[in-house]
Amino acid sequence: MNTRFKSALNHVKANEDLINKTEEYLRDTLAKEQISKMTEFNKWRMIGMKKFAIAACVALLLLGGGFKAYATPLSYVSLDINPSVELGVNALGLVVTAEGYNEDGKAVLSGVKATGINVKKAVHTIVDSAAHKGFIENDGSTVVSLTAETDNDRTAAKLKTEAEAGADEALTENGKSAEVNSDNVALARRDEARKLGITPGKLNLIQKLQAELQASDPTATVDVETYSDKTVKAIMLEIKEARQAITDKGAAIGNKDNGAASNKDNSAINNKDDLTANNTNKGTANSKANTVRNNAGGNNSINDSNHTDIKQ
Amino acid sequence: MEVSQFENDDKIGVALQKYSDTVYRICFIYLRNSPDIDDVFQEVFLKLLQKNLPFESEDHEKAWLIRVTINQCKDVVKGFWWKNINLVENVELPLKDSAENELLQVVLSLPQKYKDVIYLYYYEEYTVPQMAKLLKRNENTIYSNLHRAKGLLKQKLEGKEHEYSF
């Protein structure tokens, strides 16, 4: 059986034709496979490269977004002596833009770097530069007006404190004295001021002046343009004069209910050289001013938390 | 991963030279009719070269090939075409000797499981444990299959069994 079966099966052989056909088929298929393997390898490499490219794009976007977030000012601080300068402050409390609103402002900013540092340092730098360039008089009569422009009360307070500290330091270092006046306004006011080409700080002062003037004479109007080039000192003086006029008037009318406060107020205003915080005043003058503001209409965003100090 | 074209060609030649007859015989025992044999034949060699398995020895490689060929043939036999449409016509056997012809015809007419063991036992001279391992069956199953296969052969050869030593 063994040998018979073997010899029988030995006759069964793969014919040459089949072998050749198979050889050809195998060669073709394997070659194709190798190519497809290669392309697959390349495909994966391509996918890898694509992934890398996408990752790079995302990273760039994130970086760009981060930079955008860094470079976008959320609040502003405007500094007016007469050089009017506005600083843009980003979310991190760093100054990212510094813009001169008038020729003097540009002059103050030239040659100094006020960006990339915190508000205190930036204000310090600018006041320092202003002092060097002769914008601050030696007699202490110059008024430095700092206005925080933001919708957030907490930020406003912080910006004001920092800016004041910076201005004070710079003044002390230069042996100068000036009246540092800080205030804050809503961001909406900024757009209004921009249209007029003045800083919101100055606009604020002009509007205050208008309010004061209207308190004594409801028909009085203030032409913003005439004041836009005036120094803060000059505007402040006019405000004080107007206020005094009202106070005088108020004193003449007499105030039965709140005489003491009124007197205190009067004395404070009368004493120009030693004007102390009057943000707590409840006198006639202030209430009248408020009334007038309301009458004037649209001026409600004037912040009433302003206070005025005189730095010696 | 990188296999040169030359290396590939070399492998194809060697594999075909070594195993074409073995593979063809198994295909023949299972399928008999030629178009399917060609397909299986090519598939088996393609698998061998595609997988490029690290065989321990030539015997190992051969056993692997036998296993794969049997599986491949079984797949064909299991298929719809084979079961329903294919009319098994006996291929003309390339044998001059009538006794050998008869023996082969008888073996081919056996059920599949018996053909396996007859081929492996008589032709490839595998032992029962080896067959059990290769076919993934219990040794005793192989023993009984072999026994029954022999019985069937004897019966089919109708008394001519004396011509063969089982």
pLDDT digits (tens, 9 = 90+) for A3-30: 777 777 777 777 788 888 888 888 888 8
Q: How far apart are CA A151 and CA B145, in angstroms?
A: 95
Q: Is the pLDDT of residue B7 over 70?
A: no
The answer to whether B144 faces chain A, any CB pair under 8 Å, is no
pLDDT digits (tens, 9 = 90+) for A111-151: 778 778 888 888 888 888 888 887 777 777 777 888 888 88
B76: which residues sit within 8 A by CB, 6+ positions away? B30, B31, B36, B39, B40, B82
- Which residue type does B162 have? H
| B129-138 contact pairs (CB < 8 A, 24+) | B130/B63, B134/B63, B134/B66, B134/B67, B135/B67, B135/B70
Mean pLDDT of A251-261: 50
Name the most confidently modeled range: A18-22, A58-62, B15-19, B104-108: A58-62
Q: Which residues of A touch B (CB under 8 A)?
A: 1-2, 4-9, 11-14, 18-19, 21-23, 25-27, 29-31, 33-34, 37, 41
CB half-sphere exposure, A105, CA atoms < 13 A = 25
Q: Which residues pair with A79 in a beta bridge?
A: A85, A146
Q: What confidence score (pLDDT) does residue B95 get?
A: 58
Q: Which residues pair with A97 in a beta bridge?
A: A88
Q: What confidence score (pLDDT) does residue A140 get?
A: 74
Q: Is the pLDDT of residue A269 over 80?
A: no
A197: which residues sit within 8 A by CB, 6+ positions away? A101, A228
Mean pLDDT of chain A: 72
Q: What confidence score (pLDDT) does residue B96 get?
A: 62
CB half-sphere exposure, A178, CA atoms < 13 A = 35
Q: How far apart are CA A153 and CA B83, in angstroms?
A: 89
A 10 A CB-CB count for A212 gives 25
- Closest Cβ opposite residue A2 in set B46, B101, B122: B122
Q: What confidence score (pLDDT) does residue B90 get?
A: 55
- Closest Cβ opposite residue A8 in set B1, B9, B95: B95
> Residue B162: pLDDT band by 50, 70, 90 thresholds?
low
The answer to whether B28 faces chain A, any CB pair under 8 Å, is yes
* Cross-chain Cβ contact A14/B24 below 8 Å: yes
Interface of B with A in 42-61 (CB under 8 A): 42, 45-46, 49-50
Q: Give the tokens for residue A9.
A: 């099966």
* Cross-chain Cβ contact A12/B24 below 8 Å: yes
Q: What confidence score (pLDDT) does residue B61 get?
A: 87
Q: How far is B80 from chain A (nearest CA, A)?
A: 25
pLDDT digits (tens, 9 = 90+) for B65-90: 898 998 888 888 887 776 666 555 55
Q: Is the pLDDT of residue B1 over 50?
A: no
B45: which residues sit within 8 A by CB, 6+ positions away? A22, A26, B12, B15, B16, B19, B23
Q: How far apart are CA A239 and CA A302, in angstroms?
A: 15
More confidently predicted of A92 and A247: A92
Which residue of A6, A10, A16, A19 is the best one to mutate when testing the B interface, meaning the one whose CB has the most B CBs within 10 A?
A19
Mean pLDDT of chain B: 79
The answer to whether B77 faces chain A, any CB pair under 8 Å, is no
Q: Strand pairing of A84-89 and A75-80?
A: antiparallel
- Closest Cβ opposite residue A5 in set B21, B23, B122: B122
Q: What confidence score (pLDDT) does residue A220 get?
A: 67
| Contact residues on chain A for B93, CB-CB shorter than 8 A | 11-12
Q: What confidence score (pLDDT) does residue B144 get?
A: 92
Whether residue A99 contacts residue A85, with contact meaning beta carbons closer than 8 Å, is answered with yes
Q: Is the pLDDT of residue A86 over 60?
A: yes
More confidently predicted of B126 and A230: B126
A274: which residues sit within 8 A by CB, 6+ positions away? A310
